[in-house]
Amino acid sequence: MQAAVVGHVEWIEFARVQRVPVAGEIVHAREAWEEPGGGGAVAAVQLAKLADEATLYTALGDDELGHRAKDELGRLGVRVEASFRPEPQRRAFVYVDAAGERTITVIGSRLGPRADEPLALDGLEGADCAYVTAGDPGAIRAARAAGALVGTARDLPALREAAVRLDALVSSSRDAGERYAPGQLEPPPHVVVRTAGGTGGSFETTGGRSGRWEPARPPGPVRDAYGCGDSFAAGLTYGLGTGAAIEAALALGARCGAACLTGHGPYSGQLTRDDLPG
C-alpha cells in the first residue's frame, strides 16, 4: 500500500518539565531533545509504519535545520519530496509536563508545498491514500488523485480554494482553531470527523449518518501527548485507504493516537504494521 502526506514540518525542541512555568518563573527541564515534528511529519512517519511506503510532499527552509529535518525523516522511514526555500525552517518549542500534556510555542511561518515547485506531485496518482495538513490549492488538487483523501480543518482556507471533495475532514469539537461548520467547504466532505480528546469523538456523513467512537486504551503508561492528533489522522487515512468503513477507520485512528501517548516524543510509541490484526 502506498500512502502520502501533503503537509508541513517543524523542527521541535522538547523539554520535559514537572509543570509548565507561570509568568516570571524559572523551571528546570528533566530532559531535553530535538527532532522533526509538525502535523505533516508526524502523520508521514505513522503512515510509513503502517503502509508499504509513505511519501511526504513538503517545503523546508534552506538552512541547517531544514536539511537536517529531511535527513531525520528519511531515517524514520519516510520518502521526502521537498523544495527548499530561502527562509528559516519553521521551529517550535514544546513543554511536556509530568502528566504528559504538551504546550507548544511555534516560531516562523508554516511552509506547505506548492504545485509550481519541482516536487513530482504526479506521484500522488499512485497513492492509495493521502493526508493534507498544508499546501497551496494546486498541491491539494494533486492530492485528490489519491484513492482516499483526508484533510484537517487547520487548513480550511486552502481546502476551500482547492474545491475538491474530501473523503474525510478531521476537525475538533473543542479547539476553536480546528472547528468546521457546514457550508465552509464546497463540495462538502463525505465525512466530517470531530475529535474530543480523551473522550473519543463523533462523525457525520453527507448521507445523514452519524455516530461516535470511543477512545482506545493506551498500551502503556502515558508519557507524551505530542503528535497524538496527527497519528490519529494518519490511522484514519490508512484505514480509509484500505477500503475500511468509517467506523473501522476511526477505531484504527484511535489506536494510533493512544499508542503515540506512550512514546518518548511523537514516534517511538506509534503503532506499526505488526500491531495490526493479521
Sign, CA torsion 141/73/42/269: positive
Q: Determine the straight-line distance between the first and last CA of the chain, rounded to whole angstroms.
A: 15
228 within some domain: yes
227 within some domain: yes
Spatial distance between the Cα atoms of 47 and 231, rounded to a whole number of angstroms: 8
- DSSP code for 188: P
55 within some domain: yes
Domain enclosing residue 261, as ranges = 2-270
278 within some domain: no
Q: Which residues pair with 56 in a beta bridge?
A: 5, 80
| DSSP secondary structure of 153-173 | GGGHHHHHHHT---SEEEEES
Spatial distance between the Cα atoms of 13 and 26, rounded to a whole number of angstroms: 17
Number of domains the chain contains = 1
Per-residue pLDDT of the chain (278 residues; tens, 9 = 90+): 999 999 999 999 999 999 999 999 999 999 999 999 999 999 999 999 999 999 999 999 999 999 999 999 999 999 999 999 999 999 999 999 999 999 999 999 999 999 999 999 999 999 999 999 999 999 999 999 999 999 999 999 999 999 999 999 999 987 777 899 999 999 999 999 999 988 999 999 999 999 999 999 999 999 999 999 999 999 999 999 999 999 999 999 999 999 999 999 999 999 999 999 86
Question: What is the residue whose three cell numbers read 457546514?
Answer: 182
β-strands 31-37, 10-16 pairing: antiparallel
Q: Roughly what angle, to the nearest 10 degrees, separates helices 39-50 and 228-241?
A: 50
